[in-house]
Amino acid sequence: MKNYKIAVVNGDGIGNEIVPVAFDVLVEVAKKHNFTVSSERFDYGAKYYLEHGDFVEADGLDKLKKFDAILFGAVGLPAVDDRLPFKMFTNKVRTAFNQYVNYRPVKLLEGIDSPLRNKSQKDIDFVIIRENNEGEFVQNGRWMYPEESYGFATDTSLFTRAGIERIAHFSFKLAQKRNKNLINVTKSNTLIYTLGYWDKVIDEVSLQYPDVNYRKMYIDAASANFVLRPEIFDVVLTTNMLGDILSDLGGAIMGSLGYGGSGNINPEGDYPSMFEPIHGSAPDIAGKGIANPIGQINSVSILLDHIGEAEASKDVFKAINQVTTKGILTPDVGGKYTTQEVAKAVIDHL
C-alpha cells in the first residue's frame, strides 16, 4: 500500500483550525482509495517568528524537502509587520522548492449563488495559472534616503526566457486537457519591456500548440470580463502580481475567498509542492470555531490530483459540492455550522 509523507504547516490564526480538519479529510479519502498518509507538523509562521526571530527554523527547508507535499494554512499576525510573511515564509518556500506554478481553480460550487447575477456553475469554471517565482515579486529593489525630499524607492521586475517558457508550456498542456482555450493576461501596452518580452516568449511557445485557441487580453479588460463574461475563460496565464490580484477576484465571483484552494507546484517533482487556501490567517475570528474550511479542503483535492490520486481528488471535490448543495456552511457565507461540522459533513459524504 502506497504511503505519502505530508508536511503539515498550520501557520497562524485560523490555520490552526482549518488545516487539521482538512488533514482529517485527507486521511479518510486515503482509506477509501487504498493508500495511506503519514504526517509531521511544523509550527512555522508569524507566531514562530515572534518567539525565534524567523518564520522557519535554520534547517526548516531541509526538513520540508523530504516530504511528498506540504499542506499549509496561512501566515500572519497583527503583531508582525505584514511585509514579512511573504518574504520570510511563502516566497522563501516557493523559490527554494522551485514552485514556479501557482495553480488556482475558479469553479462555482453547487448550491452556491455567485454574486454575478444569472451566472451558474457552467459559466464559472476556469483555472488561473500565475507565474510564481519571477515577475514583479522578486523584491529586487531598495529605498534610498526615504526621509529626504529627494528620497526614492525602486522595485525591479525580473522576467527570464526560461521562466516564461516553462510556465507557458505548463499552461498550454493544461489547456489541452481542458477546453483548449488559453488567455494570456498582460499589460504590455504600458509595461512595454518586461511584459512585452513576456508576450513575445508566450507567442513563440503558442506555435507549438496549434490545437489551443490562444489570445491576449489586458489586465483591465480581463478584470471586467471576470465579472461580465466569466464563461469565456478556460486557462488564464498571467504574471506573479497580476495573478495574485485576479485570484482574489476569482474567489469573489465564486461567492467567497473562503471557497478557494490553490497549489504552489513544482511540476517536475524535484521538490515538494505546497497547497493552501487563497485567503489569509484571519486572526480576528481565530479560535471561535467558525472559520470556513472549504478552501483548505479544496486544497487537499488539488494536492491529491498533483500526487497522482486523481480519483481521490474527484471524490473530495464531489463531497464538498454535496455539502454546499445541502447548505452546510459556516457563518461567513450565511450558514450556521461550525468549522468542525462542515468538515465532518465532507467526510460523511465521502
CATH code, 328: 3.40.718.10
Q: Which letter does DSSP use for residue 272 in this model?
A: -
Please report whether residue 261 resides in a domain.
no
Please report whether residue 298 resides in a domain.
yes
Number of domains in the chain: 2
Tell whether 282 and 242 lie within a shared domain.
Answer: no
Question: 236: which strand partners?
Answer: 128, 183
Please report whether residue 145 resides in a domain.
yes
Tell whether 226 and 348 lie within a shared domain.
Answer: no
Please report whether residue 42 resides in a domain.
yes
Q: State which H helix or E strand residue 204 sits in.
A: helix 194-206
pLDDT 10s digits, 114-149? 999 999 999 999 999 999 999 998 888 999 999 999
State the pLDDT at residue 140: 87
**55 with 89: CB under 8 angstroms?**
yes
State the pLDDT at residue 171: 98
Q: State which H helix or E strand residue 240 sits in.
A: helix 240-254
Tell whether 95 and 120 lie within a shared domain.
Answer: no
pLDDT 10s digits, 283-328? 999 999 999 999 999 999 999 999 999 999 999 999 999 999 999 9
Tell whether 83 and 154 lie within a shared domain.
Answer: no
Sheet strand arrangement including 235-238: 36-41, 3-11, 69-74, 273-277, 261-265, 101-107, 125-131, 235-238, 181-186, 213-218
Mean pLDDT of the chain: 96
Distances (CA, A) of 66 to 19, 61, 171, 228, 270: 20, 9, 27, 45, 10
Confidence band for 41, pLDDT divided at 50, 70 and 90:
very high
State the pLDDT at residue 303: 98
Tell whether 308 and 245 lie within a shared domain.
Answer: no
Please report whether residue 105 resides in a domain.
no
Confidence band for 71, pLDDT divided at 50, 70 and 90:
very high
Mean predicted confidence (pLDDT) in 88-103: 96
Confidence band for 161, pLDDT divided at 50, 70 and 90:
very high
Mean predicted confidence (pLDDT) in 19-37: 97
Q: State which H helix or E strand residue 195 sits in.
A: helix 194-206
**246 with 222: CB under 8 angstroms?**
yes
| Parent domain of 312 | 1-99+271-350
Please report whether residue 260 resides in a domain.
no
pLDDT 10s digits, 209-247? 999 999 999 999 999 999 999 999 999 999 999 999 999
Mean predicted confidence (pLDDT) in 40-60: 95
pLDDT 10s digits, 170-215? 999 999 999 999 999 999 999 999 999 999 999 999 999 999 999 9
Tell whether 29 and 79 lie within a shared domain.
Answer: yes
State the pLDDT at residue 318: 97
- Kindly report the number of other CB atoms within 10 A of residue 92's CB atom: 17
- Indicate the SS3 state at residue 79: coil
Confidence band for 51, pLDDT divided at 50, 70 and 90:
very high
346 φ/ψ angles, rounded to the nearest 5 degrees: -60, -45
